[in-house]
Amino acid sequence: MNSAQFRVHIEAYLNLRSSLGFQTEYESYHLRALSDYVEAKGFSWPIRTQTILDWIGAAALHCGLPGQRMRLTQARCFLKYLKASVPETEVPGPGLLPRQPRPKPRLYSNGEITKLQQATSQLWKPGSLSQRTPYFIIGLLASTGLRAGEVIALTVDDVRLDSDPPQLHIRKAKFYKSRIVPIHSSTADQLRAYLQERNRVKLRQPSKAFFITGRRLPLSYSALRRMFSQLIQSVGIKNADGKRGPFLHSFRHGFAVQRLLAWYADNRDVRALVPHLSVYLGHLSKEETYWYLTATPELLTAAGEAFRRSCEPGGDS
């Protein structure tokens, strides 16, 4: 096999993935970069595991361990596909790179959430879209546990405020999964108020995006991150260990912990309800949800009390 044939196989693989409904933007970029790399190094067949590791190592200057692991996974998937038609293909093993420990999430208190929302009126003109958009997004993240990317991807049609109960349609989010997320009536009232403001604004170009920037354009993830960074700095919220953050994703952790605490307070069967929480959050399995349930003093106390009750005579075993 030569480099031209190698590129043909890459394009055929990407076309197959695309035809099956997968998003191939990152795969396309990485696999074509792999093709360029091996050609620049003097293409020889079969491509060895060490070549793949060298290619990943060259990318380490501008990406962390998660990005390197993604490159390894994508290269392995392609090479396994190629091996079916070219048996001498060498496929690297899956455990060549270490796993990065997931950091302990920072949980926002109710007081901090209130301060963040209040700070929007200090940083931007009160009542403007520049102020109201981050204000309502913070409330939505805290009350639903949605991913930030899911929030900015919402269209006007996805926000079904007249349904019973009101609900959000999350389309092809992480893992290409779609789901319906019911929301509380108070959350629906807030979104209804935002929608009225949004519809009064003349957009620069037609858009169905639900959340709009102060420049009357659909909100991007980078713009939302900049807004949130400004808010975090203005309020003075920091991680205790001095590390970067906290981040937008921390609202998701907080929502999961608060949901468990509420179930414990109601003396509900938390173990039976966790799978429902997984579905609501858009996880593929309850094991992914368990990581979100970071131990806090309140959660440990509630879990311990539930265990104590179950051990009492006549308690649930």
Residues with a known catalytic role: 147, 174, 249, 252, 283, 292
169, 156 contact by CB (below 8 A)? no
120, 137 contact by CB (below 8 A)? no
Write down the residue that tokens 């692991």 correspond to.
69
The alpha carbons of the chain give a radius of gyration, in whole angstroms, of 24
